[in-house]
């Protein structure tokens, strides 16, 4: 999430986590009430099982992943402010205990349910398409809905990024027609194994080109059909500063669809890119996790001085 995330990138984005089967329960119950006086019971929608690829995509998109009990919306602060009682932190820096986060698209889980949350911290995981969609959806209220503030720095970007556990397990869609139930320990082990492959030495080993560069140009374009934006595509070019591995290309450019695990570049920022080659194209295989940021001579994601980070990479067998 192995769907390759390409910069010219993805083969095809996995469907959002927990995509719901489309059923119009309201329309059905209304029509039934008109046809007969007897009450008609309508089964509640049940989220479709997620796939392992979708779980991988969610992990790659997130800045923080926590396991706990969802405790509902905080009506005093606003319907987009939600709370949970965190039991375990699987990624990031949230503290166990009472936890507050924004969920502008809601949470489709009942209060009191054990839940796995995939979160963005201070909009670090935000994509260009998400920002544009938030502006279209919320207008001037978009900052209050999604931006970090004195209430919380954490955002649940999609309702499908809150996964309910039933008796400590979630349903995962596999090759069989019947979903398998995966427990907490197996889930955590799966994510730990994935996280190992994202460590800088592992990325370095798999990459054809590792380069320190300055973002020179960024352009976000929308593909619109019948007035609806159906795709956001990002075009970025870079000015090389130093090649750490591989051969410097004649031009360093990438373009990719803006999906939840895609990176977001800002002009003039310095980055370290871990790139794979596919013919004449350069790909960021794990999306944003293949991009490290350089700030004031240090690598933001590791806290190491830049030269020390490069030395560690070059010492990788």
Taking alpha carbons only, the member of 14, 1, 7 closest to residue 284 is: 7
Residues 223 and 310 in one domain: yes
Residues 137 and 108 in one domain: yes
Is 218 a member of any domain?
yes
Average pLDDT estimate for 134-142: 94
Segment holding 120, helix H or strand E: strand 114-121
Instruction: State how many domains the chain has.
Output: 2
Residues 307 and 171 in one domain: no
pLDDT > 90 in the chain, percent: 71
Is 175 a member of any domain?
yes
Average pLDDT estimate for 62-74: 97
Reply yes or no on whether the pLDDT at 159 is more than 90.
Answer: yes
Reply yes or no on whether the pLDDT at 300 is more than 70.
Answer: yes
252-286 residue pLDDT tens: 999 999 989 999 999 999 999 999 999 889 999 99
Is 2 a member of any domain?
no
Q: Long-range contacts made by residues 302-311, C-beta under 8 angstroms, separation at least 24?
A: 302/200, 306/212, 309/200, 309/272, 310/212, 310/242, 310/244
**Reading across the β-sheet that carries 50-51, which strands appear in turn?**
50-51, 169-173, 180-183
Question: Last residue of a domain, which of 196, 224, 242?
Answer: 196
Residues 190 and 53 in one domain: yes
Query: Phi/psi at 277 (nearest 5 deg)?
Result: -100, 140
Average pLDDT estimate for 73-89: 94
- Per the prediction, the chain carries an average pLDDT of 86
| pTM of the predicted model as reported, rounded to 2 decimal places | 0.81
Q: Looking at per-residue confidence, does 217 or 20 come out higher? A: 217
Reply yes or no on whether the pLDDT at 295 is more than 80.
Answer: yes
Residues 93 and 212 in one domain: no
**Amino acid 18: pLDDT:** 41
Angle (deg, nearest 10), helices 52-61 and 184-196: 60
Residues 158 and 211 in one domain: no
Q: Range of 256's domain?
A: 200-314
Is 77 a member of any domain?
yes
């Amino acid at each position: 999430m192995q769907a390759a995330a390409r910069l010219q990138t993805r083969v095809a984005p996995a469907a959002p986590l927990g995509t719901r089967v489309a059923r119009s329960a309201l329309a059905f119950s209304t029509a039934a009430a008109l046809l007969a006086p007897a009450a008609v019971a309508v089964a509640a929608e049940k989220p479709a099982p997620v796939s392992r690829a979708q779980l991988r995509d969610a992990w790659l998109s997130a800045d923080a992943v926590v396991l706990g009990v969802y405790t509902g919306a905080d009506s005093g602060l606003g319907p987009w402010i939600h709370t949970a009682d965190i039991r375990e932190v699987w990624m990031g820096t949230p503290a166990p205990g009472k936890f507050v986060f924004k969920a502008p698209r809601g949470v489709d889980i009942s209060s009191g349910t054990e839940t796995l949350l995939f979160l963005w911290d201070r909009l670090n995981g935000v994509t260009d398409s998400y920002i544009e969609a938030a502006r279209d959806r919320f207008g001037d209220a978009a900052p209050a809905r999604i931006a970090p503030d004195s209430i919380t720095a954490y955002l649940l970007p999609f309702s499908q990024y809150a996964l309910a556990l039933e008796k400590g397990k979630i349903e995962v869609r596999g090759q069989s027609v019947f979903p398998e139930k995966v427990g907490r320990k197996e889930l955590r082990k799966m994510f730990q194994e994935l996280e190992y492959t994202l460590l800088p030495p592992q990325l370095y080993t798999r990459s054809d080109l590792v380069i320190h560069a300055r973002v020179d140009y960024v352009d976000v374009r929308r593909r619109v059909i019948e007035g609806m934006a159906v795709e956001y595509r990002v075009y970025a070019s870079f000015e090389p500063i130093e090649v750490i591995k591989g051969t410097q290309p004649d031009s360093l450019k990438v373009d990719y669809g803006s999906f939840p695990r895609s990176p977001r570049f800002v002009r003039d920022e310095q980055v370290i890119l871990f790139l794979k080659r596919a013919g004449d194209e350069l790909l960021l295989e794990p999306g944003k996790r293949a991009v490290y940021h350089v700030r004031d001579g240090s690598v933001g994601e590791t806290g190491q001085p830049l030269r020390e980070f490069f030395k560690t990479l070059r010492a990788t067998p």
